[in-house]
A and B are shown apart, each in its own frame.
Chain A
Amino acid sequence: MGADSFLTGRGDADAARADTGVISRQAALSQLAHPLGALFWLAVAAIVATLVRIAFFTPTEASQGLAQKIFYVHVPAAVTALYLAFALMAVTSVLYLWLRDPKLDRVAASAAEVGLAFATVVLVTGPIWAKPVWGTWWSGDARLTSTLFLWLIILAYLILRQAVEDRAQRARYSAVLAILAGLLIPFIHLSVYLFRTLHPQPIVLKPSAPSLPPEMLTTLLISFASFALLFVALLRARYRLAAMTDLVDGGVYANGAN
């Protein structure tokens, strides 16, 4: 049912109802009164607590100094962007091409947009950490270049979604691009093994035990949990926004009867 109603295009109230589920005007306004939801504020509280732990209860690394603490924001952002957001985008895009369920397209688009914010944090904090440690802001090696390339593909994905008006065509084209972007994820992960690079090899996501002192590993895991919670909260808010946009564009509330 979802696929057929999706293909009927924009402006069809019945299609929008079928795709998103019926929601009353009051419920819609209630949801949009707090677009970010309580989960977002829980994530903010967790991140503030994490920042306190990083600043006051985590030792400073001897050779790199305070700059090493960039690690606790850079690595969780990278793991969240690559292995949660963009992986989810690629998987739901594959499922969309198979099942043609518009909910999967919305999840893919939401994951891409939220993931782009996390990837931007990776690409901004990485050079700020690199300057004092490597002596240069940027190195044109495989890890950094392929991460920037993936960021540009995701940006292109979001521009493509704005450019194509037909919903079914937009979902199909963007799913193909998302799958191609997803193919880069294992390449980016393995690039530090396959090529000579200044970027360090993984110290947690590797076959052997993590090579970090226990206090630092605990802080990293807490930081990852906090930023993963932020990702889930933003993904949920962004998905809800996409679903509500489809209802409004579909004219569900146009006659004032809902």
Chain B
Amino acid sequence: MPPDNGGYAYAAYAAAITIYAVYSASVWWRGRALAKRIPAAPDAGRSGPPSGAA
């Protein structure tokens, strides 16, 4: 009869998943934050047809 210690296994897996998830989220968050630091292109947000269009 194996010992009843399943709680330790669940705790270990929960801790591991949390660590991997937090680190992955930090990479995602830093990537998104970096994207916001890239200035918009000069013609971004300009409305109307491109110059030279009929």
Contact = CB atoms under 8 A, between A and B. Distances in A.
A205 interface: no
Interface residues of B, number: 29
Contacts, number: 108
Chain A residues touching B, majority SS: helix
A40 interface: yes
Interface residues of A, number: 45
Which interface residue of B8, B15, B37, B42 has the most chain A CB atoms within 10 A? B8
Contact of A25 (B6, B20, B38): B38
Interface stretch (A3-11, A68-76, A87-95): A68-76
Contact of A117 (B2, B11, B20, B37): B20
Contacts of A69: 9
Max chain B Cβ within 10 angstroms of own Cβ: one of A32, A51, A234:
A32
A241 B13 contact: no
A108 B35 CA distance: 23
Interface of A: 25, 28-29, 32-33, 35-36, 40, 51, 60-67, 69-70, 73-74, 77, 114, 117, 120-121, 124-125, 128-129, 131-132, 230, 234, 237-238, 240-241, 244-245, 248, 253-254, 256-257
Interface of B: 2-6, 8-9, 11-13, 15-16, 19-20, 23-24, 27-28, 30-32, 34-35, 37-42
